[in-house]
């Protein structure tokens, strides 16, 4: 493991930022497997459409509890390996083990229990990794840093989403039609995901040295003795963070509808599968994996150019426009029955996804005190999980009462929520826009460095 050095976070080269963000390739490989296959795993094991939201409750609940706490304590941790590394390395190990065990669940409730462990471990990895980036990248490079993060998130998700389809076309599918069984193509994908997840996070930890500041008492620690702490951080949230919270709420209501129902919707509405144990249903789920790969592929390509577009317009314009594209793309699925035309919708969703993974954090980072970066990013993620909890608790009733248990209509509903989120973006205060000199300098630096990504990739 890299030891403490005199390296500073003030100015990082291309490969330093590459190493710093590379761990997200692994986390998103595993995350894409979960997003693309969990609802199908539940249906393989006998779940009905109305049960699926509540079975997904693990993710938002663990995110609500784990991410703020991990952020709070990682701000204060002092170990020979720095503040963040012990947290995200432990999370990576547990996530990898959970990825191995989840596709081997023997019944529905075992799979649901394993999802609780998997999501807890994911949250224990991702929040410290985000703060790890914030610790080392200053305002001049933050748009680039979070765009690079979005690049690896998209690339990892593409490969992870395609993995079952790849294994299936290698002939690993011999038990897919057995009642109550999970296809071997899915199992092998999860095993590969465990290996990739651990390896990539370990690479980031070993290739990125600690800074001297990580070994010193932080200003936040010294303030704690004077009565500061977690609750005070919530009360003292910056104005920009409060405004972004509204945008995040509607955004993640919409995206959680997609996570819950997109794969079964494609299998049933696009492919016409009526039996989850049929070969047609399995092919539909695999095609949903390709859809996921396409929108994540668009995500990592679009992430290379977000800073340039933001300079020409603004970060708020880019985020609002991308959310609007995503919402329209999801709503358009209602009229599409051709399996290839749905990739137009995937492209629109990919634009929204790229912006969701970078622009809110880029805007937020400029509004946060550096000594509270981890705590506030953890709190900010509460505004991602609370809407998911609302969906998990209420969408099952909405499905049965208003949507006729239609997976496709639930996805379309998600599109309307993305449009609502876009309408709230203009109300957000962007600190960089209030200081044109800072915005111009940051954006110009980001453009130059993103062009180096294009020529080096």
pLDDT digits (tens, 9 = 90+) for 256-311: 999 999 999 999 888 888 787 787 888 888 899 999 899 988 987 887 788 788 88
Can you tell me the distance from the alpha carbon of 103 to that of 139, in angstroms, rounded to the nearest whole number?
42
pLDDT digits (tens, 9 = 90+) for 362-393: 888 788 877 677 678 778 878 888 899 999 99
Pick one of 1.10.3720.10, 3.40.50.300, 1.20.1250.20, 3.30.70.20 as the CATH number of 14-212+228-456. Answer: 1.20.1250.20
Handedness of CA 92, 95, 97, 99 (dihedral sign): negative
Query: What is the pLDDT averaged over residues 341-363?
Result: 92
Q: How confident is the model at residue 424 (pLDDT cuts 50, 70, 90)?
A: very high
The alpha carbons of the chain give a radius of gyration, in whole angstroms, of 21
Query: What is the pLDDT averaged over residues 93-100?
Result: 93
pLDDT at 355: 92
Query: What is the pLDDT averaged over residues 214-230?
Result: 49
Tokens representing 25 are: 């390739």
Q: How confident is the model at residue 394 (pLDDT cuts 50, 70, 90)?
A: very high
pLDDT at 365: 79
Residue 224 has pLDDT above 60, yes or no: no
Is residue 176 classed as helix, strand or coil in its secondary structure?
coil
pLDDT at 455: 32
DSSP state of 38: H
pLDDT at 215: 54
| Average pLDDT over all residues of the chain | 81
Residue with tokens 């998103």: 28
pLDDT at 129: 84
Query: What is the pLDDT averaged over residues 391-407?
Result: 91
Q: Residue 337's closest CA among 271, 263, 411? A: 271
Can you tell me the distance from the alpha carbon of 316 to that of 140, in angstroms, rounded to the nearest whole number?
18
Query: What is the pLDDT averaged over residues 101-119?
Result: 87
End-to-end CA distance of the chain: 27
Query: What is the pLDDT averaged over residues 97-111?
Result: 89
Half-sphere exposure of 410 (CA within 13 A, CB side): 32
Between residues 177 and 450, which one has the greater pLDDT?
177
Is residue 314 classed as helix, strand or coil in its secondary structure?
coil
Q: How confident is the model at residue 8 (pLDDT cuts 50, 70, 90)?
A: very low
DSSP state of 4: P
> What pTM was estimated for this model as a whole?
0.75
Exposure pattern of 10-37 as b/e (b: 16+ CB <10 Å)?
eebeeebbbbbbbbbbbbbbbbbbbbbb
Can you tell me the distance from the alpha carbon of 334 to that of 403, in angstroms, rounded to the nearest whole number?
13
Is 20:132 a contact under the CB 8 Å cutoff?
yes
């Amino acid at each position: 493991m890299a030891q403490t050095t005199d390296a500073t976070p003030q100015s990082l080269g291309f490969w330093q930022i590459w190493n710093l963000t590379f761990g997200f390739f692994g986390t998103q490989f595993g995350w894409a497997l979960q997003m693309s296959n969990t609802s199908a795993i539940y249906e393989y094991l006998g779940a009905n459409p109305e049960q699926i939201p509540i079975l997904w409750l693990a993710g938002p609940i663990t995110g609500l509890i784990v991410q703020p706490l991990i952020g709070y304590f990682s701000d204060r941790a002092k170990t020979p390996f720095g503040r963040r590394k012990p947290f995200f390395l432990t999370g990576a190990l547990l996530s990898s083990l959970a990825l191995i065990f989840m596709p081997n669940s023997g019944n529905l409730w075992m799979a649901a229990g394993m999802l609780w462990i998997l999501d807890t471990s994911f949250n224990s990895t991702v929040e410290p990794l985000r703060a790890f980036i914030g610790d080392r990248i200053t305002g001049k490079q933050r748009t680039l840093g979070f765009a690079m993060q979005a690049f690896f998130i998209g690339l990892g998700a593409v490969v992870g989403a395609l993995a079952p389809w790849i294994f299936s076309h290698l002939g690993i599918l011999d038990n897919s039609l057995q009642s109550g069984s999970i296809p071997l193509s899915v199992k092998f994908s999860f095993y590969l995901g465990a290996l990739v997840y651990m390896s990539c996070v370990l690479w980031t930890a070993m290739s990125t040295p600690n800074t001297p500041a990580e070994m010193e008492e932080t200003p936040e620690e010294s303030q704690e003795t004077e009565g500061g702490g977690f609750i005070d951080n919530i009360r003292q949230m910056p104005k920009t963070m409060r405004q972004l919270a509204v945008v995040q709420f509607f955004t993640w209501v919409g995206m959680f509808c997609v996570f819950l129902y997109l794969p079964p919707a494609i299998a049933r509405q696009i492919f016409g599968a009526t039996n989850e144990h049929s070969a047609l249903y399995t092919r539909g789920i695999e095609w949903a994996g390709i859809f996921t790969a396409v929108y994540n592929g668009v995500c990592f390509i679009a992430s290379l150019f977000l800073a340039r577009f933001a300079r020409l317009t603004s970060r708020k314009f880019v985020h609002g426009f991308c959310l609007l594209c995503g919402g329209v793309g999801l709503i358009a699925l209602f009229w599409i029955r051709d399996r290839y035309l749905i990739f137009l919708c995937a492209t629109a969703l990919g634009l929204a996804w790229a912006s969701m993974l970078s622009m809110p954090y880029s805007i937020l980072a400029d509004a946060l005190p550096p000594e509270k970066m981890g705590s506030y990013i953890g709190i900010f993620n509460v505004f991602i999980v609370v809407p998911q909890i609302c969906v998990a608790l209420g969408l099952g009733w909405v499905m049965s009462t208003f949507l006729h248990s239609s997976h496709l209509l639930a996805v379309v509903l998600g599109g309307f929520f993305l449009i609502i989120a876009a309408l709230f973006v203009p109300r957000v205060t962007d600190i960089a826009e209030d200081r044109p000199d800072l915005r111009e300098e940051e954006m110009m630096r980001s453009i130059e460095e993103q062009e180096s990504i294009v020529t080096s990739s």
